[in-house]
């Protein structure tokens, strides 16, 4: 008992000492739990202290991110903004491309406008000179291919690289460039003049020269890098001047590279002059209209491409497949220009063609003709004159229809043959009468008289008309309207629903 009473003061004294220690260090027992730091990028890092503050406890100090982490985090918005900018640019490009596609899709052909009911009555004369827009494309698109085999007619000149390979009793390989004097220098063989030789002749010459020094060998000759040549574009060219082009270039390549003729230059008499002589006259229309490049020659150094002034011009507008302004070559007739356009469109009206002509550079006159039997009638296939404007009109819509309305399955406008199509035929095409149709129908006709239009109305017995009664199954014309009213409610019983 005494020992227990002696221990009690000691226990309270120990508690007093512990309380004093905690008071001096200002630490709460609840704070002795070790907290594991959370990564700064975690959302729990900010949520936990806020919860503790709300509970009235002291907030835990959040570890600050390092400088490298701060830079990484600060760079993220910039990267995000950059990606957003790139994305916007891509979206803008996509939108622009889509807009261009829509713009091209919005252009309607003559037939599309015709079937949509939007074909204009007046003919637009907003036509352009044929073929010149083809040269507006970038010249690099039409640059000659460099890495293609040269043909046997290719002419060797200074700057060309010749590759010679021999094997057999002797092996050897040489890549030699033709010098300014047009010679090749081959080891142990000497100097061989090759300028002006074709590629086929070059092979024969090299084999002959090497055979003088070697025997029992085979040989292969190929071309390496090709030279460039200088040509001249003069006359009524879009960009006249001197040009350096590939030695593989042809006349057509050069025309595309230099912009072709100007609108005052001829497309039908493009000339290539060489050594003071005209060696070819090229008609661009043969290339554009027929795909004929038979007169397209390979150019040589110092060739001159001359474009003379444009010849006679005529315009054709309206319902042809390719309305434009065409250049004439020699005597041309109406049928010739129709062939150039690709022919009449499917909406062309053959019974009328209008020609506006300038007479003696003094006044403009208009005359009419037609396109019926133009192939066999010389009077209709007349000779064209410089400055003619030809208009081909559209077909006229003949409204041979009858309007059917009221109690039929498919009311609307129906085509007919005037004087032959009957009431029964029209009702049958409309899917027949509905069950609530009246027995009578009203037919309205409009007749044109000298005193003006006269409207006639008559009542038709439908039961007799559907049986083919001649007095009621009458023929219709294009100014007729047939209306079938529903029967009154007293004349028929509405459908009944039967419940079993």
Q: What is the pLDDT of residues 87-141, one digit of tens each?
A: 444 444 444 444 444 444 446 666 676 666 665 667 888 899 999 988 876 555 4
- Where do the structural domains in the chain lie, given as residue ranges? 136-143+228-307, 161-223, 313-394, 401-491
Q: Has domain 401-491 been given CATH number 1.10.287.1260?
A: no
Distance of CA 401 to the CA centre of its chain: 39
Distance CA 325, CA 226 (A): 41
Predicted confidence band at 11 (pLDDT cuts at 50, 70, 90)?
Answer: low
| Closest to 132 measured CA to CA, from 231, 236, 234 | 236
Q: Would you say residue 78 has pLDDT above 50?
A: no
* Topology agreement, domain 313-394 and domain 401-491: yes
Check whether 9 has a pLDDT greater than 70: no
Give the separation between CA 317 and CA 358, rounded to whole angstroms.
17
- pLDDT tens for each residue of 281-296: 999 999 999 999 999 9
Fold of 313-394: Outer membrane lipoprotein wza fold like (3.10.560)
CATH class of 136-143+228-307: alpha beta
**DSSP per-residue codes, 23-76:** HHHT--GGGGSPPPP--TTSTHHHHHHHHHHHTTSPPPPPPPPPHHHHHHHHHH
pLDDT at 52: 39
> Domain 161-223: which CATH class?
alpha beta
- pLDDT at 100 (0 to 100): 44
**Which pLDDT belongs to residue 54?**
39
pTM score above 0.75: no
- Residue 58: which pLDDT band, with cuts at 50, 70 and 90? very low
pLDDT in tens, 165-222: 999 988 889 999 999 888 999 888 889 999 889 999 999 999 998 888 888 899 999 9
């Amino acid at each position: 008992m005494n020992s227990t009473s002696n221990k009690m003061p000691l226990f309270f004294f120990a508690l007093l000492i512990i309380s004093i220690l905690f008071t001096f260090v200002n630490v709460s027992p609840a704070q002795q739990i070790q907290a594991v730091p959370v990564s700064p990028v975690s959302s729990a890092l900010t949520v936990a202290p806020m919860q503790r503050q709300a509970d009235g406890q002291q907030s835990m100090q959040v570890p600050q991110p390092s400088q490298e982490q701060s830079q990484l985090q600060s760079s993220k918005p910039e990267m995000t903004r950059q990606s957003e900018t790139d994305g916007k640019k891509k979206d803008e490009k996509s939108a622009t491309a889509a807009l261009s596609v829509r713009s091209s899709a919005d252009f309607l052909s003559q037939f599309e406008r015709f079937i949509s009911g939007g074909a204009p009555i007046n003919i637009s004369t907003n036509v352009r000179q044929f073929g010149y827009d083809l040269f507006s494309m970038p010249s690099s698109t039409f640059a000659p291919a460099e890495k293609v085999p040269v043909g046997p007619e290719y002419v060797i000149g200074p700057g060309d690289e010749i590759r010679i390979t021999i094997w057999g009793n002797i092996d050897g390989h040489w890549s030699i460039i033709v010098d300014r004097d047009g010679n090749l220098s081959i080891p142990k063989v000497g100097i061989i003049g090759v300028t002006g030789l074709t590629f086929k002749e070059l092979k024969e010459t090299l084999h002959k020269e090497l055979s003088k020094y070697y025997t029992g060998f085979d040989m292969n000759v190929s071309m390496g890098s090709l030279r460039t040549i200088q040509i001249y574009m003069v006359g009524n060219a879009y960009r006249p001047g001197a040009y350096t082009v590939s030695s593989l270039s042809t006349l057509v390549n050069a025309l595309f590279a230099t912009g072709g003729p100007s609108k005052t230059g001829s497309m039908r008499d493009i000339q290539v002059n060489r050594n003071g002589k005209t060696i070819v006259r090229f008609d661009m229309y043969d290339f554009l209209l027929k795909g004929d490049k038979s007169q397209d020659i390979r150019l040589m150094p110092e060739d001159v491409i001359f474009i003379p002034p444009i010849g006679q011009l005529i315009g054709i507008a309206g319902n042809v497949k390719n309305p434009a302004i065409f250049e004439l070559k020699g005597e041309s007739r109406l049928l010739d220009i129709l062939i150039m356009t690709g022919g009449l469109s499917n909406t062309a009206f053959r019974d009328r063609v209008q020609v506006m002509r300038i007479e003696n550079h003094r006044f403009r006159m208009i005359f009419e003709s037609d396109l019926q039997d133009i192939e066999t009638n010389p009077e209709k296939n007349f000779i064209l004159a410089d400055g003619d404007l030809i208009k081909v009109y559209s077909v006229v819509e003949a409204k041979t229809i009858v309007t059917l309305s009221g109690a039929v399955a498919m009311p609307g406008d129906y085509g007919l043959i005037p004087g032959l199509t009957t009431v029964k035929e029209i009702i049958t095409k409309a899917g027949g009468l509905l069950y609530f149709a009246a027995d009578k129908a009203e037919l309205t006709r409009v007749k044109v008289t000298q005193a003006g239009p006269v409207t006639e109305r008559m009542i038709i017995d439908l039961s007799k008309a559907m049986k083919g009664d001649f007095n009621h199954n009458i023929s219709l014309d294009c100014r007729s309207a047939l209306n079938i009213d529903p029967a009154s409610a007293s004349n028929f019983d509405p459908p009944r629903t039967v419940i079993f």
